[in-house]
Structure 1
Amino acid sequence: MSEQLAPTLCPPRVRHHDVIVVGAGQAGLAVSWHLTRRGIDHLLLERDTTAHEWRDGRWDNFTLVTPNWQCVLPGYAYDGPDPDGFMARDEVYRFVRGYADSFGAPVLEHAGVRAVTRAPRGGYDLETAAGSFHANQVVVATGGYHVPTVPRFAERLPASITQLHSAGYRSPAALPAGAVLVVGTGQSGAQIAEDLHLAGREVHLAVGNAPRVARFYRGRDCVAWLHDMGHYDVPIEDQPGGIGKRENTNHYVTGRDGGRDIDLRRFALEGMALYGRMTGLDPDGTARFDTSLERSLDAADAVADGIKNAIDGYIARAGIDAPMEPRYTPVWRPEHERTALDLRAAGISAVVWSVGFRTDYRWLRAGVFDGEGHPCHNRGVTTSPGLYFVGLPWLHTWGSGRFAAIARDAEYLAERIAAAATATVAA
């Protein structure tokens, strides 16, 4: 039989590892570091290249919203000249790539996982772009933001108007000339609106219900105060609302130019047009909005003020000498709420949808998901033996979705993985 025909008649070669980690971003790499220290055989499978989301999935002027001193991974920490600053996109990419290189993380790139199933002989079978694998245990480190979402009525936009999701936004110059409508004010939407505004573009912004936080208060970054207060360490089950916190939108703020508040009211004074939540789009190209603008602005301010109240209380209890600071006073209020916008008449050339993502775990064939497709777990440990998640928002605490607590989450899972491996050997 010819050598060329033989592979079609023989079973594919299956490569085995004790542990396979799906995803080579900072969360997967943190788990890998712990497994490497314990001498546990493992492999990271990455559909693209290591840490590529930091380079390919952010806009040109992106910066972290958490200070550089919080960028701490197991055995590795930011050691640059600006610990209180905020790394830009490419700096974060180099930081995470440098982490992978620092311990020789065993990453197989361009090996996107197509299916993970329970193996009849135990463990898990994985089908990937790089072939077939088997692992005793699997860690899913693909994050929680997989598929960009847009409202169904987006299909009614006139063909002459460019539309893209925030995940595809790169810069003001990359959009056609004209006014831009940004829909949504989570972290991405608010920062993209600011990016366009600072570039001198005419911006129309549909404001959602995202909260905000002050960048600095009483002489320090609010993140520093909250860190000292242990706010990022409170388990989700001890938070008001419990696991419902996982559905919360992040507070908007920016690390740009050394860090500052994002004040949508100030933007309005400077010419940005604000609306309530976008509710629909008429066939003639008229966008519709509800009358939630003032309520949303007030609610965002109330959250920021509540955080300041908590900081004040901590300062008082701890007897800290910190400068006093006047509270924020709204600089603008809508005289009336506009509920319609003729996109053509307003010269809108582009719409940026910043309304979130949905999960997509169709490749993971395990009964560990709720009715909305979110994984069910306790600190990343699922009911399917040897299957774990890491790097999800609120996996265990508020810090879980950021650099701040990935080290802790990764260590916890590595301990569970090591214990399971030991039990298997003993059996």
Structure 2
Amino acid sequence: MLVDNVSPMPNSRVNIPVVIIGAGQAGLSASWYLCRQGVEHVVLERHTRFHAWKNQRWDSFCLVTPNWQCRLPGFPYQGDDPEGFMLKDEIVDYVEAFADSFDAPLREGITVTRVAQNADGRFEVDTDDGLWSAEHVIVASGGYDRPITPPYAADLDPSIAHLHTRDYRSPADIPEGKCLVVGTGQSGVQLMEDLRIAGRDVALAVGPAPRSPRMYRGRDATDWLHEMGYYERTIDQQPDPKATEAKTNHYMSGRDGGHEIDLRKFALDGLQLYGSVTGMKGSTITFAPDLEKNLDDADDSYIGIRKMIDAYIDEKGIEAPAEPPFEKAWRPGSEITEVDADEEGITSILWCIGFRPDYGWLHVDCLDGTGRPIHHRGVCDVDGVYFLGLGWLHTWGSGRFLGVGEDADHVTSCIIRRLGQGSKGRRFG
């Protein structure tokens, strides 16, 4: 590739048709399509490729969706367990093999510090290793830059340790004593289970995350939903697109072959559940009286998915085993709204309440008032700026192995079309 011979040094300037920022599955999917079409480009990565998969996942991490949903461009899952759930090291092997399947013009260890549009309409991409000038910029840096920790966490007794999901690797990272896991998205419930399996003392602050069946009527629920076309529904087809974008993922697990997570059953087995955390001061932790509501709402989501599958089975006349009606295994009594961490033996907090992207380096008018990208299927109103790899960029699978390739195909097709309509961009090959 032409770019292979270009090594920008500080204060140098390299002109190129396309710059991709980020070398995760989204950025390298875009590179795969551009390479196939012979479009000159560069992929800039501040760490190494797939850094998050290698360095920001816990040791027992596994996929929540079945392996068959791994469909990176030209590289679908080819293993012998399509209905299984790859472990962390297997995921790394998969994405590394995808990257090795083509010759991406990748530059690792380069941090983008500023992107701005000049008077000629080109984009100046400043880095700590020189300046690139491009007609098109694909932002594939993901949405996991800044772990969310609420401001009141700073008011908690400093003797109580704080850890975020990005820094957790194994139960050995948690101090002796009880750990309060905050958040019930996929990470929160899985790390709660990880600690319990290790025999650690753990409590869980339950947020408003929904939950999903795992196996239902003879098949994994995700198999049914895929067959029903659920994963093909676009963000524009959702009743409230903004609310859909903001939703937390349904929780379940792929661990040990996959299973549901019903927090009521964990409570019956001795897990202390609280409502949402509302504040911290000294050794005092306060909770909203919303535990029962959050459990009920999660179950409503669970039941709703079952009803969708039931309706589909009935409509298509499919032979499938019946399932007993869902029953709530446990209900909370009076809700606890305040605890003293010292009295409860709480020595650590594990924050599992998500991340925020950091686009402070992006000096282009393509973000809304909350800092979220403004786009339609990754294509911004500002000509030449694109996003990839975000949840619900186009469909449910956009931020996952299932749909990121289709989005990359769409975005790169737009770029190739524009390059062919008078752009001065170069091609190679």
Q: How does the TM-score come out when normalised to structure 1?
A: 0.95
User: Do the aligned partners of 1:207 and 1:274 also contact (CA within 8 Å) in 2?
Assistant: yes
Matched, 1:318 2:304: no
Taking the aligned partners of 1:152 and 1:426, their CA distance within structure 2 comes to 49
**Larger mean Cα displacement after TM superposition, 352-361 or 253-262:** 352-361
Question: 2:372 — aligned with what?
Answer: 374
**Counterpart in the other structure of 2:354:** 356
The whole-number CA distance in structure 1 between the counterparts of 2:30 and 2:363 is 22
Partner of 2:231: 232
Indicate the SS of the match to 1:279: strand
Q: CA deviation at 1:330?
A: 1.4
- Equivalent residue letter for 2:292: E
Unaligned runs of 5+ in 2: 1-8
| 1:30-179 matched pairs, under 5 angstroms | 30-179=29-178
Structure 1 residue 11: Cα displacement: 8.7
Mapped to 1, the partners of 2:243 and 2:216 lie a distance apart of: 28
Counterpart Cα distance in 2 of 1:42 and 1:11: 19
Displacement after TM superposition at 1:339 (Å): 1.1
Most deviating of 367-376 and 121-130: 121-130
CA positional deviation for 1:108? 0.5
Work out the CA distance in 1 between the residues paired with 2:384 and 2:67: 34
Match of 1:299 in 2: 297
Could you tell me which of 336, 339, 342 is aligned with 1:341? 339
Quote the offset at 1:414 in angstroms. Answer: 1.1
Partner of 2:4: none
SS at the partner of 2:20?
A: strand
Q: CA deviation at 1:274?
A: 0.1
The separation in 1 between residues aligned to 2:370 and 2:224, in whole angstroms, is 35
1:206–1:278 CA contact under 8 A, matched in 2: yes
User: 1:288 offset after TM fit, Å?
Assistant: 0.5
In structure 2, distance between residues paired with 1:244 and 1:338: 29
Amino acid at match of 2:252: V
Distance in 2 (alpha carbons) for counterparts of 1:29 and 1:35: 10
Equivalent in the alignment of 1:4: none
Q: What's 2:247 paired with? A: 248
Deviations 1:98-117 (A, max 9, x none): 11110112211001111111
The alignment of Structure 1 onto Structure 2 pairs a total of residues equal to 417
1:380 and 1:389 in contact (8 A); partners too: yes
Alignment check: 8 A CA contact 1:110 1:130 kept:
no
User: Retained in 1: the 8 A contact 2:157–2:281?
Assistant: no
Contact (CA 8 Å) 1:278, 1:289: kept in 2 or not?
Answer: yes
Structure-1 separation of matches of 2:216 and 2:164: 33
Once residues 191 and 14 of structure 2 are traced to their aligned partners in structure 1, the CA distance between those partners, rounded to angstroms, is: 44
Match of 1:273 in 2: 272
1:92-132 per-position Cα deviation (integer Å, ceiling 9, x unaligned): 11211111110112211001111111123332111112221
Contact 2:10 2:128 in 1 (8 A): no
1:411 to 405, 409, 412: 409
**Which aligned pairs between 1:172-191 and structure 2 lie closer than 5 A?**
172-191=171-190
Q: Contact 1:110/1:129 (CA < 8 Å) preserved in 2?
A: no
Residue identity opposite 1:343 in structure 2? A
Which residue identity lines up with residue 169 of structure 1 in the other structure? Y
Q: CA deviation at 1:426?
A: 7.8
Alpha-carbon displacement from aligned partner over 1:292-323 (angstroms, at most 9, x marks no partner): 00111011011010001000111111121111
- Quote the Cα distance in structure 1 between the aligned partners of 2:157 and 2:200: 21
What percent of counterpart residues are identical? 49
CA distance in 2 between partners of 1:201 and 1:336 (Å): 26
| 1:243 Cα deviation from its structure 2 partner | 3.2
Q: In 1, are the aligned partners of 2:10 and 2:131 still within 8 Å (CA)? A: no
String of CA shifts for 1:150-195, please: whole Å, max 9, x gaps: 1111011212111011211111111111110011111111111111
Letter in 2 for 1:240: P
CA distance in structure 1 between the partners assigned to 2:424 and 2:60 by the alignment:
53
Are the aligned partners of 2:113 and 2:361 in contact in 1 as well (CA < 8 Å)?
yes
Q: Could you tell me whether the CA contact under 8 Å between 1:156 and 1:282 is conserved in 2?
A: yes
Equivalent-residue separation in structure 1 for 2:101 and 2:325 (angstroms): 45
Where 1:335 maps in the other structure, the secondary structure is coil
Counterparts of 1:206 and 1:425 in 2: how far apart (Å)?
54
Letter in 2 for 1:399: G
Could you tell me how far 1:418 is from its partner in structure 2?
A: 0.3
Moved over 3 A (4+): none
| Alpha-carbon separation, structure 1, partners of 2:198 and 2:424 | 63
- Determine the C-alpha separation between the residues in 1 that align with 2:348 and 2:333: 27
Return closer, same or farther for 1:295/1:15 CA change in 2, 3 Å cut-off. same
CA distance in 1, matches of 2:78, 2:69: 11
Q: Is the 8 A contact 1:52 1:93 kept in 2?
A: no
SS of residue paired to 1:345? helix
| Structure 2 counterpart of 1:157, one-letter code | L
Q: CA distance change for structure 1 residues 307 and 120 in 2, over 3 Å: closer, same or farther?
A: same
Structure 2 residue aligned with 1:5: none
Calculate the aligned-residue CA RMSD, in Å.
1.4
State the TM-score, normalized to the length of structure 2: 0.95
